[in-house]
Amino acid sequence: MVLRKIIESRGDFMILELKNIHKSFSDVQVLHGVSFSITSGKALGFLGRNGAGKTTTIRILMGLFDANQGEILLNGQRFNPREHSIGYLPEERGLYPKQKVLEQLTYFGQLRGLNNKQAKENGLYWLERLGILDYKDKRLETLSKGNQQKVQIAETLLCNPDIVILDEPFSGLDPVNSQILKDIINELIKKGCLVIFSSHQMSYVEEFCQEIALIDKGNIVLTGDLKSIKKEYGMNRITLNSTNQSVHELKNILSTGVKDVKIIDTKNKGVIIELLNGKSKNRLLHDLLDLNIDIENFSIYEPSLTDIFVQKVGDN
Amino acid sequence: MRNFFLVLKFELLNLIKKKAFLISTAIICLIIIVGLTIPIIADSFGSPIFNKDENQVAEADKVSYGVLIEEDSIELSDLETLLPHINIITTDSKKELSDLTRNEDVVAGFIIKAPTKYDYLVKNTSSYDNNTYEMDSALLTLYRNKTLTEKGIDVSIVNEVYNVSVEHDVEVLGKDSMQNYLYTYILIFALYFIVIMYGQLIATSIASEKSNRSMEILVTSTSTESLIFGKVIAGALAGIIQFGIILLVANISYRINASAWDNSLDFIFDIPLNVLLTFSVFGILGYLFYLFAFGAIGALVSRTEDISASATPITIIFIIAFFISMFSMNAPDSLLLKVASFIPLSSFMAMFIRVSMGNVSTIHVIISLALLALSTGLIGILGAKIYKLGTLMYGNPVKLKTAIKLLREK
């Protein structure tokens, strides 16, 4: 079969906005005014600890639950998921274990509005693209976990979606298959799809997502451009390593001998210092030299996404 | 609507392609074919079940009685005339008669002591023994004939007077319950099995979609209404197809073998059109009613092994409705059956019995049908709502009461 281009370039710019979404189940309020937005051609990293409200938010977005309050808008209009082609890869994987791979892909494709021929063609395309075409007539349960995951990805992308929601898409994939999926996600972003990416593997999020929304106990605690967030979190913060002082010694010296600084964290045998009351980097450097600290590293602190995540939603 | 038909087609094909469906249908059909061919098989082995002439008993088939007539109490020739289907062997002594009986050369021995008195010798007694009845009738006839002749009365006149039979014709103005009983019984039983079997099947199918998490994909691909209605109606159609095939095979097998059966089963197969129509309409609606209920139960559990426990209440209700209907078949115009024929939980069986075997006015049938159709529609809508609610609720089975409470809150 000749590979055909299924991912077509999107002409229209889209902005999807969730505004003040509230949701309760019985007496338990799960979402307390969730708001964030995402534009086409970008990927949003939707992050949060287990049970923070990610799946509930996604299910409201997919129209499976009604929000008690708030609205979802696409380009300023009320968003109806039934009117759009959405590819959803849920965290809870599942297809029909006893059905043949292509048969069920065709069925799901048809349910999403494709005709029988298109559904079959698209199914074959994605099976070939993901390197599992040989399994098209096999029952799903006979495939390995990784290959089942690939069938699930094929199912997600089957209907040439405008909006793609990926919940832990890399789980179960080996490095080679992860690379194949990375290429596909990059392709989707480049073609103008609106991608919502949820994962606990922060390295993937940093790789794909220009924007993030961090949810904690049903509240969005952080949202915006990832680079700006990192910059903001690094502002007035310095990473310091010493050749002749241990972390413990550094912490003691800094807390007793240096004014207008606060030790934020320790990392890689060094400390992260926040400058207070307008103290400059040069002033701090002078202070450190006066204290005879042999500086190995003195640099502007750039937090990783994991640092930001732990800092915002960690137990402390 | 398009997706409803897609789900229907997908589910129906899955059901009828299942080995369980194919094998069970084939086995039932085979049993029916063999069962209805028994008379032909029996004929070919020379033991016809029907059309055999009772008077023509082959010489080899005759049973033998040993007889010892004491003191010339009766004439042997008279006895032989009255028992033409029995081979009579005379003996001269009780010992000889006992030996014959013990060696099973004769089935029974009779020592005739007087015209109305004999001793009966038998090796083993059996509850099916009618030898004494045969001898009693023969001796009684001999005694009566002899006595009447002695008194100068013509035996033939007496026989004529005593053996005259009163002729009567039966004209059934209502329903012939005797004739209708069997096919009503068979159809009600079929309905019972089909509801239980396909109800469980649908509940299992829905619960397994939750346990294998394909539900996540399904509910984001199409509406829950398309899913539940498609599934339930596919299950209903599979049952109807299976039942239809079985009925067709039974009908064809019987038509082919009807003459061998001496048309004795015509009353089962010649079901009146109105009865068939009532069975079809009420049966299908009632069947759907229960399938929707089982479908909703499937959506409230997360594991297939929880189904039997969660489905117990509805199964019990159905079994009670079934027993009320079955036990009321002997009294099709009873108050209990009348009440049951208006309650949708039981009306599809009860009203069918009333139409088939009792007296029921058309208006009652229409009211019952309207109630059943309305209830089936309502339970379909409720089932769809419970399905939507339950599809993404995992963990312990959700109680129906809780589900309804959650629906109200919504």
pLDDT digits (tens, 9 = 90+) for A141-175: 999 988 998 999 999 999 889 899 998 888 878 88
pLDDT higher than threshold 60 for residue A3 = no
Query: Considering chain A, what percentage of its residues have pLDDT values greater than 90?
Result: 30
In A, minimum Cα distance to B215 occurs at: A94
Q: Tell me if the domain spanning A15-225 has CATH number 3.40.50.300.
A: yes
A89 beta partners: A166
Q: Considering only the C-alpha atoms of chain B, give the largest distance between any 2 of them, rounded to a whole number of Å.
A: 103
| E strand or H helix that includes residue B136 | helix B131-150
- C-alpha B251: how far from its chain's center? 15
pTM given for the model: 0.74
Residue B125, pLDDT score? 79
Nearest chain B CA: its distance from A108 CA (Å): 7
| E strand or H helix that includes residue B227 | helix B224-257
Give the residue-averaged pLDDT of A195-200: 89
B255 close contact with A: CB closer than 8 A = no
Q: Which residues of chain A neighbour B402 with C-beta distances below 8 Å?
A: none
A112–B221: do the CB atoms touch at under 8 Å?
Answer: yes
B220–A90: do the CB atoms touch at under 8 Å?
Answer: yes
B125 close contact with A: CB closer than 8 A = no
In A, minimum Cα distance to B14 occurs at: A99
Q: pLDDT category, B410, cuts 50, 70, 90?
A: low
Give the residue-averaged pLDDT of B55-71: 75
Q: Select from A68, A99, A110 the residue whose CB has the most chain B CBs within 10 Å, as the one to mutate to test that interface.
A: A110
DSSP string, B331-352: STT-HHHHHHTTSHHHHHHHHH
Two tokens at A146?
Answer: 């990784």
- CA separation for the pair A237, B381 (Å, rounded): 61
Residue B56, pLDDT score? 53
Residue B174, pLDDT score? 62
Structural domains of chain B in order of their starting residue, each with its CATH number: 2-39+177-409 (no CATH), 62-154 (3.40.190.10)
A111–B3: do the CB atoms touch at under 8 Å?
Answer: yes
The strand order across the sheet containing B117-121 reads B86-90, B63-69, B108-114, B117-121
Q: Which residues of chain B neighbour A59 with C-beta distances below 8 Å?
A: 392
Nearest chain B CA: its distance from A169 CA (Å): 15
B219–A64: do the CB atoms touch at under 8 Å?
Answer: yes
Q: How many helices (H) and strands (E) does chain B have?
A: 16, 4
| E strand or H helix that includes residue B119 | strand B117-121
B6 close contact with A: CB closer than 8 A = yes
pLDDT higher than threshold 60 for residue B52 = no
Nearest chain A CA: its distance from B214 CA (Å): 4
Q: Which of A283-287, B2-6, B403-407 has the lowest mean pLDDT?
A: B403-407
Nearest chain B CA: its distance from A115 CA (Å): 11
pLDDT higher than threshold 70 for residue B89 = yes
Nearest chain B CA: its distance from A25 CA (Å): 9
B10 close contact with A: CB closer than 8 A = yes
Domain residues of chain A, as ranges?
A: 15-225, 235-313
A110–B409: do the CB atoms touch at under 8 Å?
Answer: no
In B, minimum Cα distance to A56 occurs at: B392
B213–A111: do the CB atoms touch at under 8 Å?
Answer: no
Whether residue B129 contacts residue B107, with contact meaning beta carbons closer than 8 Å, is answered with: no
In A, minimum Cα distance to B394 occurs at: A92
Residue B177, pLDDT score? 64
Residue A1, pLDDT score? 38
Q: pLDDT category, B165, cuts 50, 70, 90?
A: confident
| E strand or H helix that includes residue B114 | strand B108-114
B214–A96: do the CB atoms touch at under 8 Å?
Answer: yes
Q: Which residues of chain A neighbour B6 with C-beta distances below 8 Å?
A: 107, 110-111
Residue B48, pLDDT score? 62
A94–B6: do the CB atoms touch at under 8 Å?
Answer: no
Closest Cα to residue A158, out of A121, A203, A207?
Answer: A121
Interface of B with A in 214-243 (CB under 8 A): 214-223
- CA separation for the pair B372, B281 (Å, rounded): 10
pLDDT higher than threshold 90 for residue A73 = yes
Nearest chain B CA: its distance from A56 CA (Å): 10
Q: Select from B204, B216, B407 the residue whose CB has the most chain A CBs within 10 Å, as the one to mutate to test that interface.
A: B216
Show the 3-state SS of chain A. CCCCCCCCCCCCCCEEEEEEEEEEECCEEEEEEEEEEEECCCEEEEEECCCCCHHHHHHHHCCCCCCCEEEEEECCEECCHHHCCEEEECCCCCCCCCCEHHHHHHHHHHHCCCCHHHHHHHHHHHHHHCCCHHHCCCEHHHCCHHHHHHHHHHHHHCCCCCEEEEECCCCCCCHHHHHHHHHHHHHHHHCCCEEEEECCCHHHHHHHCCEEEEEECCEEEEEEEHHHHHHHHHCCEEEEEECCCCHHHHHHHHHHHCCCEEEEEEECCEEEEEECCCCCHHHHHHHHHHCCCCEEEEEECCCCHHHHHHHHHCCC
In B, minimum Cα distance to A141 occurs at: B212
Give the residue-averaged pLDDT of B16-44: 87
Residue B51, pLDDT score? 55
A90–B217: do the CB atoms touch at under 8 Å?
Answer: yes
A235-313 CATH fold: Alpha-Beta Plaits (3.30.70)
Strands A15-25 and A69-74: antiparallel
**Beta-carbon contacts of residue A50 (< 8 Å; ≥ 6 apart):** none
B17 close contact with A: CB closer than 8 A = no
Residue A247, pLDDT score? 87
Give the residue-averaged pLDDT of B14-39: 89
Query: Considering chain B, what percentage of its residues have pLDDT values greater than 90?
Result: 24
In B, minimum Cα distance to A27 occurs at: B409
A26–B409: do the CB atoms touch at under 8 Å?
Answer: yes
Nearest chain B CA: its distance from A92 CA (Å): 6
B406–A90: do the CB atoms touch at under 8 Å?
Answer: no
- CA separation for the pair B236, B26 (Å, rounded): 19
Q: Which of A183-187, A253-257, A286-290, B178-182 has the lowest mean pLDDT?
A: B178-182
The CA angle A178-B217-B380, to the nearest 5 degrees, is: 175
B395 close contact with A: CB closer than 8 A = no
The CA angle B248-B253-B257, to the nearest 5 degrees, is: 150
Query: Considering chain B, what percentage of its residues have pLDDT values greater than 70?
Result: 91
Q: pLDDT category, A312, cuts 50, 70, 90?
A: confident
Q: pLDDT category, A2, cuts 50, 70, 90?
A: very low
Tens of pLDDT along B296-313?
Answer: 888 888 788 888 888 888
- CA separation for the pair B254, B266 (Å, rounded): 9
In B, minimum Cα distance to A153 occurs at: B217
Residue type at B251? N
Nearest to B217 among A97, A108, A110 (CB): A108
Q: pLDDT category, B70, cuts 50, 70, 90?
A: confident
Nearest chain B CA: its distance from A96 CA (Å): 6
Give the residue-averaged pLDDT of B184-208: 89
Residue B173, pLDDT score? 65
